[in-house]
Amino acid sequence: MIRIDFDELINNYDTNLLDNLRGFGKNQEYLKYWVPGTSTQKSFQNLIDALAEAQYLDIMLSFDYNSYEVHFFNKAEMLLEKISIFQKERENNFIKFRIKLDINLYRQKQNENFSITNKEIEQKTDYKDRILVFKSKEKLEPIYKYGIEQISTSDYYIEKNLDKKNSFIKEIEGIKLSFTIENKNIINLAHNCKEDTILKKLINIFFDICINQNIQEAANHSLIYLEEKIRLNNNRLIKKGIILPSHAGTYFDDLNIIIRQVFDEYKNQELIEFGINKNYFKKSYHWINLEENKKITKINEIIFEILNNNNLNSNAASARSIESNFRINLEIDKSFKLLQEKKNLLLEIERKIKVLDETLEIFIEESLDKNKLRIKNSPQTKLLN
């Protein structure tokens, strides 16, 4: 049974949002799926959804009785009656619900809500005969060619034997592409384009993004990553936001169709049902095996450059330790904190350190006063024997 104090859960989310949110759910899987709603009722419903998603079905949920109106508990009971077996207890100033979620009833309730929501949306929808979406008619927009030329890639060319076990063969402009998938992961990629063409370079970059990825993740996002990776290598292109790959040229559309076809064929061949895409960036082999002192040195080199660009002392911020290969504990002083209020340096640091590894995240702690004389002369609490 999992025990949750609802008031503490909400308070922790609000007060620790900046420092602890990324590590908030490290011990409880359901916290990855939960966010507070615009009302306490919605927050409660979101929590039930998160618990069901994470398969926590046996729950003890407690509330401070004085913090909520009676109608809140009435609505909570109405929901729980439809999806669970539960008992309600009063203990001092707390209301406790012992809940056993019935996942089948929960799914049924979800479907009913979805059906009702769809009808409401349909009634309010302003229907259009057509929606115009820009799609490039060029195979590759000229402005993307520069970005492609700046990127170093592996070469996935092989002369023959493209058709291997567990492989799926597709074709673009006469070039054969081979995708080998095992246990939902793309383990090998190859093509038979020998000539150094811009399309071959694009395919190689695309393959660099897809290799060792979950096939669902590759089908969902690889072309978005591909367009962004090329765009960020060209200072003349806009850098903010997500741009549809079709804006960059028909080659992107062709590759998008190919990877989605491979995903569908793999599902049908293996008779596998994929649920919600929960694949995230994985730590690189190189980063995991790098010694910690070298990791910190590389991180601090990037931080120092940012400090220097903002006229801050080199001691204003530094990485002190790394936990689980991704959580960087950053120590900052007051000068950094003051500038952070005007300019988001933390976000700039986190974006730039991701060149080392995509999973890296920043967590901060303020530097303590290290002046021994000042500490000695400050008011002290004396322990009485």
pLDDT tens, position by position, for the chain (385 residues)? 889 999 888 877 755 544 444 444 445 677 777 888 878 888 899 899 889 888 889 999 999 988 888 888 999 999 999 999 999 998 888 999 999 999 888 888 887 765 555 555 556 555 555 655 556 778 888 888 888 888 888 899 998 778 777 899 999 999 999 999 999 999 999 999 999 999 999 999 999 999 988 999 899 889 988 988 888 776 665 555 556 777 888 999 999 999 999 999 999 999 888 876 656 556 666 787 788 889 999 999 999 999 999 999 988 999 988 887 778 888 898 898 888 888 888 888 888 888 888 778 888 754 444 444 444 444 444 444 3
Which tokens hold the place of 331?
């120590």
Domain end residue (candidates: 107, 128, 151): 107
List the CATH number of the domain containing 169: 3.90.1010
34 and 147 inside one domain? no
In a domain, 119, yes or no: no
Which tokens hold the place of 130?
């057509």
CA–chain centroid gap for 28, Å, is 17
In a domain, 195, yes or no: yes
Q: What is the pTM of this model?
A: 0.44
Q: Is 13 helix (H, G, I), strand (E, B) or coil?
A: helix
CA–chain centroid gap for 137, Å, is 32
What's the rounded Cα separation, in Å, for the pair 338 and 354? 24
Give the residue numbers spanning the domain of 65: 2-107
Which tokens hold the place of 227?
């367009």
In a domain, 318, yes or no: yes
Which tokens hold the place of 362?
């920043």
What's the rounded Cα separation, in Å, for the pair 156 and 158? 7
Burial 208-219 (b: 16+ CB within 10 A, else e): bbbbebbbbbbb
DSSP string across 323-337: ETTTEEEEEE-HHHH
Which tokens hold the place of 76?
């909570």
Q: Name the DSSP letter for residue 3.
A: E
How far apart, in Å, are the Cα atoms of 81 and each of 63, 76, 105, 136? 18, 9, 10, 53
* pLDDT, position 341: 82
**Structural domain total, the chain:** 3
CA–chain centroid gap for 64, Å, is 33
342 and 258 inside one domain? no
In a domain, 385, yes or no: no
What's the rounded Cα separation, in Å, for the pair 362 and 77? 41
Outline where the chain has alpha helix (H).
6-15, 17-20, 40-53, 70-83, 103-124, 142-149, 198-210, 215-231, 250-270, 285-288, 292-309, 334-340, 345-353, 372-377
